[in-house]
Amino acid sequence: MTPPSRDAGLTLLELTVTMAVFALIAVMGLQALSGSVRVQEVLGRRHAETWEAAEALALLRRDLERVTDRAFVPPQKAPEPAVVFGGDSLHLSVAGMPVLPGTTETGEMRVVWRFDATEEVLYRQAWLSLTPFNTRAQGPEVAILSGITELVARGLTPDGWSDRFGSADVPAARPRAIEVTLTTARHGDLRVMVTP
């Protein structure tokens, strides 16, 4: 006679141990996945902040490289020098801007960069002409970069560097070089220096 055979199935204890091991592996996988998602969110946010700063610096550099010697004549006001800065703003007469076909634009405009210390935002505004007839040629003020704690502009004159330009004490001719430093909370000092 042959002895009775046992079934080849799992016991309750073996099934419980198997499910516990599977649950442990699932929890570890979920933690790894959620950690990866968090890292991706942080990297995406930092990439967006860096991209915003890079775009702002590129736009500022483009304006500084296109500075012209032509004065700005606002409607019903006295003419202003081509380059004026001091304090928290930078006023530039620029040329060589793209022009839409069939318009009366000349490719010259007045660009105003303004730093608002209370909002910690850098704004840019443009006039579509250096000799506008009225204030309709003045574009809206657009926020370009946030998180700015300080804006410092200086120009190289024959007498050396000056942080005030186009005022009564500094000649109104175009500076030999312009340096703009933006101090940011996230990126530290961002510096643009050009010789227009």
Q: What angle do CA 183, 186, 190 make, to 5 degrees?
A: 35
Q: Are 138 and 31 in contact (CB under 8 A)?
A: no
Structure tokens at 156: 């190289």
Q: With a threshold of 0.85, does the pTM exceed it? A: no
Of 168, 174, 176, which Cα lies nearest the Cα of 193? 176
Which tens digits make up the pLDDT trace of 109-161?
999 999 999 999 999 999 988 888 888 888 999 999 999 999 999 988 888 88
Between CA 129 and CA 108 the distance in angstroms is: 6
Which tens digits make up the pLDDT trace of 74-122?
888 888 888 998 888 999 999 877 766 766 667 889 999 999 999 999 9
Between CA 147 and CA 188 the distance in angstroms is: 10
